[in-house]
Amino acid sequence: METIRTIYIGQLRTSAKHVQSGVEIITDAPVDNQGKGEAFSPTDLLAASLGSCVLTIMGISAREHKFDIDGTRIAITKIMVSNPRKVSEVKIEFVFPHQNYTEGQQRILKHAAHNCPVALSLHPDVVQNIIFNFNSI
C-alpha cells in the first residue's frame, strides 16, 4: 500500500498527502530556483525530515531510559551547492529545555541523533553538522 500520494498542481508546486492520516503538505520551488518560495521546498523537507527524525529517535531513547527531552528545540540550516544543485550540508543546532542531563544521558542522546533512519539514509556527501548545546538555554 502506498504511503504518500503526491500531485503536481502547477506553478512549480506539489501537494503530498499522507495516505494513512490524510494530512497534506504543499511544496513550492524556492525563489532561487524559479519558484515563489511560499511553502517548504522539497530540499527544505529533506532538512526538516532529518531534524524531525533526530528528535523522534532521541525522544524514544530518552523515554526508554526514563528521562525526557520535552521542549527541546532545533534550528535547522540547509546549505545548497550548484553543479549539480543539491543539498551539501544540514546543520542542526539544539537548545535543550534544561541543563541537568548527565554525561550518560548526553551520550544516549548523541548516539540516537546520529543513528536515526533519515541520518543513516542520506548520502555520505551530505554533511550532517549536529551541534548539541547541553549547557545553554
Residue 137: pLDDT band with limits 50, 70, 90: low
Question: What is the amino acid identity at position 103?
Answer: E
What pLDDT does residue 97 have? 86
Please tell me the number of Cα atoms within 13 Å of 94 on its side-chain side: 24
How far is Cα 132 from Cα 137, in angstroms, rounded to an integer? 11
Q: How far is CA 123 from CA 14, 86, 89, 110, in A?
A: 24, 11, 11, 20
Percent of the chain with pLDDT over 90: 93
CATH 3.40.50.300 is held by the domain 42-131: no
How far is Cα 91 from Cα 76, in angstroms, rounded to an integer? 6
Buried-state track 60-82, b at ≥16 Cβ within 10 A, e below 16? ebbeeeebebeebebeeebeeee
What pLDDT does residue 60 have? 98
How far is Cα 36 from Cα 13, in angstroms, rounded to an integer? 9
Sheet holding 24-28, edge to edge: 4-10, 13-18, 24-28
Kindly report, residue by residue over 25-47, the tens digit of the pLDDT: 999 999 999 999 999 999 999 99
